[in-house]
Amino acid sequence: MFAKRFKTALALSGGSARALSHLGVLERIEREKIPVDMIVGSSMGAVIGGLYAYYRDSATVADRLRRVFQSELFVKAASLVAEDTAHPVGTDRFFNRFMWLFRKGFYYTHSMLHTALVSEDLYEEIIGTLVPDTLIEDLPIPFASVAMDLLSGEEIVIAKGPLRRALAASSAIPGILPVVEIDGRPLVDGGWVDNVPVAPAIALGAHFVIAVDATLEMSGMADTPQSAMEIVFRCNEITRIVLTRHRKSHA
């Protein structure tokens, strides 16, 4: 009787390419037969969590991600933020070229004319290739993603509606990927407001939360910033790290 009422949730963080480590966690959970009653994800954690809620198999999720990362579509998107498109573009280059772009002045120039480096059409095509066309309500494992309202700053928990839109909103890296509108709200990457969504999992009925944090820590940062823009980025990253520590402390 108690076992049926007790719910365990998995809270998966963002973390760009580092969030691919969630696949190893899911594999271990399967091996140890740990029951997961719901999944809540933020940013890349939402993408992996949403795919797992649909397929319920870590190997299948890994294969689907691998196919998309190796596709012409992804290479096309990644080349927009890569230093040199003449060389192979991997996930790290796609997610971590911000500083190079600012040093070259390209991002500043581009941002005056566009709201994102990757077009809305290209982003939707990538999401459509990666994510099944299904409703969150129909998933075998209850799931929710976290996004941030760009106007109000609110944390928006998406627990119903098209899975593709929910994952697109949760992983819409500001300035790189386009803003996603859901119910009239302009939504961006959930990692900017709640990168380890433990509180939403509890609010959705979880009694026990396993939190997986794949984000950068202070020890993983580069040496002392050498420019004004690098200092701005460092301070912004520190703010996110401190917020993440607070958020995941309830797991």
3-state SS of the chain is CHHHHCCEEEEECCCHHHHHHHHHHHHHHHHCCCCCCEEEEECHHHHHHHHHHHHCCHHHHHHHHHHHHCCHHHHHHHHCCCCCCCCCCCHHHHHCCHHHHHHHCHHHHHHCCCCCCCCHHHHHHHHHHHCCCCEHHHCCCCEEEEEEECCCCCEEEECCCEHHHHHHHHCCCCCCCCCEEECCEEEEEHHHCCCCCHHHHHHCCCCEEEEECCCCCHHHCCCCCCCHHHHHHHHHHHHHHHHHHHHHCCC
Give percent of the chain with pLDDT exceeding 70.
Answer: 77
Distance CA 27, CA 7 (A): 20
161: CB partners within 8 A, 6+ apart:
135, 136, 182
Over range 226-230, report the average pLDDT.
Answer: 69
Q: Is there a catalytic annotation at residue 138?
A: no
Distance CA 223, CA 104 (A): 20
What are the pLDDT digits (tens) for 94-110?
444 444 444 444 444 44
Mean pLDDT of the chain: 82
What are the pLDDT digits (tens) for 143-161?
999 999 999 999 999 999 9
Asked whether the CA dihedral 11, 117, 78, 218 is positive or negative, the reply is negative
Residue-level pLDDT at 241: 74
Q: Which of 43, 58, 170, 171 is catalytic?
A: 43
Residue-level pLDDT at 102: 41
Highest mean pLDDT among 123-127, 223-227, 246-250: 123-127
Q: Which of 13, 189, 194, 213 is catalytic?
A: 189
Residue-level pLDDT at 100: 43
Q: Is there a catalytic annotation at residue 189?
A: yes
What are the pLDDT digits (tens) for 161-219?
999 999 999 999 888 889 999 999 999 999 999 999 999 999 999 999 999 998 766 66
Read off the pTM: 0.80
pLDDT confidence of 81, banded at 50, 70, 90?
low
